[in-house]
């Protein structure tokens, strides 16, 4: 690309003989994109970076993804930029803005070497060959498509900024999850505001929070979509060459732009659909004394179904599943495909039903009233091993309990009170003004024991390992009696808990064993 600079005379003298070798290597790669791209060590030592990447958006996706690219590609300079100074300062500190197992180590191994976090957006774009756009694309909260369509305002702003400051052509990569055909809009924005040649690629991210680093190091697949023109295919090959440093060729799938964009929405819709499907069976299990875990084992043994993602729960959360399905519903509707839209809408409806059902069951089980009762909430993150609380089922269940005037004591090993309150406001519109006394009704605790003291019930909202292995004898001792446990994740040893004296409610489990 544009930046094979040579640092000194010594470097020039020794680099030249190897320059033809590099050209041959590059040429070989472009002709045969399935080949792995090996960087000649000698050249790398004597030159600056061979490629420069900018990532716009230092969030859950941008940060970890770029850290792994930098870690696996020492010959590439990776700079992550963001409009949020606070976010960039956190990435440059010892207290990273997000928690993911293994992330701290990987960031520290490359930060300041070939991984940089910066607020200098213009300069970074200008010097880069590839710009990843990894900004948030939340559901619209107003206007046309409100509550359904994805807001791609941030993506468009990035495209405008790239066009405004670039002094050469670049590859622009959609990393954000976007509605199908967004690349078209990006391309038009770039073209109308700049005379440089831009190629737009789609490279959706499939990492799951909680296992982001492992997923990035060993991805099930990398998907790259681009225009099927000579220039488009060349751009695809360039991005393939980045991933080929650690991802095997069969795992790198290339497609046209629209298939790639739509695949991401479909992947999330299908995953969420599995959760809603198994959750829809839990209510039936509770009426018929069937056991949802036994059913999951029995059906998962069929290779056509498979055993993954069949864990019943209080409902899915996270920033993506609901948002992406709503977007899919909106797209179907906007093409007049009402039946398709209704089909996917049902996945969300079932999830809402499951959360409501869980909270209603808590109230009913505790003698039809939780008013003034202390209830311990174990976990607020939307799943274990992440501090992310977006769309967490815990918020919805807690809101239902707050409506019944329960007192809630919350313990989560990774979530702060501020984060929790922000989530309440964003997804449930719960604030001190909408729910007077909110700050008094919710207390946050630093341990399970502190939360459980004096409470009537424990509700497991997140499947943190420490909840499964806690000393429930000790917790039982400090609770009011009868002491209830509502296991929203089916992670606890229910029979043992009953032996201790707990009254246990687990999702989709035979009713006869309860109470």
Ligand X SMILES: NC(=O)c1ccc[n+]([C@@H]2O[C@H](COP(=O)([O-])OP(=O)(O)OC[C@H]3O[C@@H](n4cnc5c(N)ncnc54)[C@H](O)[C@@H]3O)[C@@H](O)[C@H]2O)c1
Smallest separation (angstroms) from ligand X to the CB of 183: 14
Return the DSSP state at 139.
B
Cβ pair 165, 126 in contact under 8 A: yes
The stretch among 101-109, 133-141, 164-172, 430-438 that binds ligand X (CB under 6 A) is: 133-141
Residues whose CB is less than 8 angstroms from the CB of residue 496 and which lie 6 or more positions away in sequence, other chains included: 472
- Our CB check for ligand X shows the closer of 89 and 478 to be 89
**In whole angstroms, how large is the CA radius of gyration of the chain?**
25
Distance between CA atoms of residues 148 and 341, nearest Å: 11
- Our CB check for ligand X shows the closer of 33 and 315 to be 315
Smallest separation (angstroms) from ligand X to the CB of 130: 16
- Our CB check for ligand X shows the closer of 268 and 407 to be 268
Smallest separation (angstroms) from ligand X to the CB of 125: 10
Which two tokens mark 437?
Answer: 């006394």
Counts for the chain of helices (H) and strands (E), in that order: 21, 14
Report which of 373, 382, 364 is spatially closest to residue 456, judged by C-alpha positions: 373
340 among known catalytic residues: no
Smallest separation (angstroms) from ligand X to the CB of 332: 19
Burial class (CB within 10 angstroms; exposed 0-12, middle 13-18, buried 19+) of 304: exposed
Smallest separation (angstroms) from ligand X to the CB of 387: 11
Smallest separation (angstroms) from ligand X to the CB of 86: 9
Determine what percent of the chain falls in helix, strand and coil, rounding each to the nearest 5.
50, 15, 40
Strand partners, 200: 172
Work out which of 4, 22, 157, 299 binds ligand X, going by CB under 6 A. Answer: 157
Which two tokens mark 277?
Answer: 């499907």
Cβ pair 151, 169 in contact under 8 A: no
The H-or-E segment that residue 174 falls in is strand 170-174
Distance between CA atoms of residues 368 and 476, nearest Å: 22
Smallest separation (angstroms) from ligand X to the CB of 375: 29
- What x-and-dash track marks residues 45-74 binding ligand X by CB under 6 A? -----------xxxxxxx------------
The stretch among 4-12, 135-143, 276-284, 470-478 that binds ligand X (CB under 6 A) is: 135-143
Work out which of 28, 40, 84, 465 binds ligand X, going by CB under 6 A. Answer: 84
The stretch among 40-48, 77-85, 194-202, 473-481 that binds ligand X (CB under 6 A) is: 77-85
Residue listed under structure tokens 């004394």: 289
Number of residues counted as binding ligand X (CB under 6 A) = 26
- Angle of helix 62-72 relative to helix 103-110, nearest 10 degrees, comes to 50
Work out which of 131, 158, 285, 296 binds ligand X, going by CB under 6 A. Answer: 158
- Our CB check for ligand X shows the closer of 75 and 390 to be 390
Cβ pair 417, 348 in contact under 8 A: no
* 3-state class (DSSP) for residue 110: helix
Distance between CA atoms of residues 172 and 149, nearest Å: 23
Smallest separation (angstroms) from ligand X to the CB of 321: 10
Distance between CA atoms of residues 99 and 475, nearest Å: 28
- Our CB check for ligand X shows the closer of 135 and 285 to be 135
The stretch among 26-34, 80-88, 349-357, 464-472 that binds ligand X (CB under 6 A) is: 80-88
Residue closest to ligand X (Cβ): 59
- Our CB check for ligand X shows the closer of 55 and 459 to be 55
Query: Does 239 participate in binding ligand X (rule CB under 6 A)?
Result: no
Report which of 5, 37, 27 is spatially closest to residue 239, judged by C-alpha positions: 37
- Our CB check for ligand X shows the closer of 388 and 404 to be 388
Smallest separation (angstroms) from ligand X to the CB of 513: 36
Report which of 359, 276, 262, 267 is spatially closest to residue 312, judged by C-alpha positions: 276
Strand partners, 458: 376, 485
- Our CB check for ligand X shows the closer of 205 and 291 to be 205
- The catalytically annotated residue of 55, 73, 158, 320 is 320
On the CB side of 426, CA atoms within 13 Å amount to: 14
Smallest separation (angstroms) from ligand X to the CB of 58: 5
Query: Does 209 participate in binding ligand X (rule CB under 6 A)?
Result: yes
Query: Does 159 participate in binding ligand X (rule CB under 6 A)?
Result: no
- What x-and-dash track marks residues 167-206 binding ligand X by CB under 6 A? ---------xx---------------------------x-
Work out which of 124, 199, 319, 462 binds ligand X, going by CB under 6 A. Answer: 319
Distance between CA atoms of residues 41 and 51, nearest Å: 15
- Our CB check for ligand X shows the closer of 31 and 85 to be 85
Cβ pair 395, 424 in contact under 8 A: yes
Query: Among all residues, which ones are annotated catalytic?
Result: 320
Residues that bind ligand X (CB under 6 A): 56-62, 81-84, 87, 134-137, 154, 157-158, 176-177, 205, 207, 209, 319-320
């Amino acid at each position: 690309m544009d930046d094979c600079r040579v640092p000194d005379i010594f470097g020039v003298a020794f680099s030249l003989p190897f320059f033809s070798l590099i050209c041959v290597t590059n040429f070989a790669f472009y002709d045969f994109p399935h080949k792995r791209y090996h960087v000649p060590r000698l050249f790398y030592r004597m030159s600056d970076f061979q490629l420069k990447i900018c990532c716009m958006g230092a969030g859950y996706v941008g940060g970890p993804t770029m850290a792994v690219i930098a870690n696996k590609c020492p010959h590439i300079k990776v700079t992550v930029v963001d409009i949020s100074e606070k976010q960039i300062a956190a990435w440059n500190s010892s207290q990273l803005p997000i928690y993911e197992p293994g992330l701290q180590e990987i960031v520290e191994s490359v930060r300041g070497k070939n991984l940089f976090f910066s607020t200098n957006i213009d300069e970074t774009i200008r010097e880069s060959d590839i710009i990843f756009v990894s900004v948030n694309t939340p559901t619209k909260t107003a206007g046309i498509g409100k509550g359904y369509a994805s807001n791609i305002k941030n993506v468009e702003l990035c495209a405008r900024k790239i066009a405004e400051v670039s002094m050469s052509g670049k590859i622009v990569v959609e990393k954000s999850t976007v509605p199908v055909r967004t690349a078209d809009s990006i391309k038009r924005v770039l073209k109308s505001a700049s005379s440089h040649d831009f190629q737009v690629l789609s490279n959706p991210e499939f990492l799951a929070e909680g296992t982001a680093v492992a997923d990035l190091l060993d991805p099930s697949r990398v998907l790259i979509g681009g225009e099927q023109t000579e220039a488009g295919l060349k751009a695809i090959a360039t991005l393939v060459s980045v991933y080929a440093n650690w991802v095997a060729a069969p795992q790198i799938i290339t497609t046209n732009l629209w298939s790639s964009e739509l695949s991401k929405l479909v992947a999330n819709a299908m995953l969420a659909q599995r959760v809603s499907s198994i959750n829809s069976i839990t209510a039936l299990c509770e009426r018929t004394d069937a056991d949802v875990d036994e059913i999951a084992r029995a059906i998962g043994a069929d290779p056509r179904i498979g055993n993954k993602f069949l864990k019943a729960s209080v409902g899915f959360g996270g920033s993506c599943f609901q948002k992406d399905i709503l977007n899919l519903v909106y797209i179907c509707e906007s093409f007049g495909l009402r039946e398709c839209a209704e089909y996917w809408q049902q996945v969300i409806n079932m999830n809402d039903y499951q959360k409501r059902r869980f909270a209603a069951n808590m109230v009913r089980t505790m003698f039809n009233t939780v008013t003034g009762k202390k209830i311990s909430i174990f976990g607020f993150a939307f799943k274990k091993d992440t501090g992310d609380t977006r769309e967490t089922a815990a918020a919805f269940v807690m809101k239902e309990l707050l409506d019944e005037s329960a007192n809630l004591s919350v313990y989560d090993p990774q979530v702060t009170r501020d984060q929790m309150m922000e989530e309440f406001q964003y997804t449930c519109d719960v604030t001190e003004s909408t729910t007077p006394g909110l700050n008094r009704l919710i207390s946050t605790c630093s341990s399970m024991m502190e939360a459980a003291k004096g409470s009537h019930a424990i509700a497991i909202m997140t499947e943190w390992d420490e909840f499964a292995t806690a000393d429930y004898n000790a917790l039982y001792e400090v609770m009011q009696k009868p002491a209830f446990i509502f296991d929203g994740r089916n992670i606890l040893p229910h029979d043992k808990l009953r032996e201790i004296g707990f009254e246990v409610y687990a999702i989709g489990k035979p009713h006869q064993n309860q109470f």
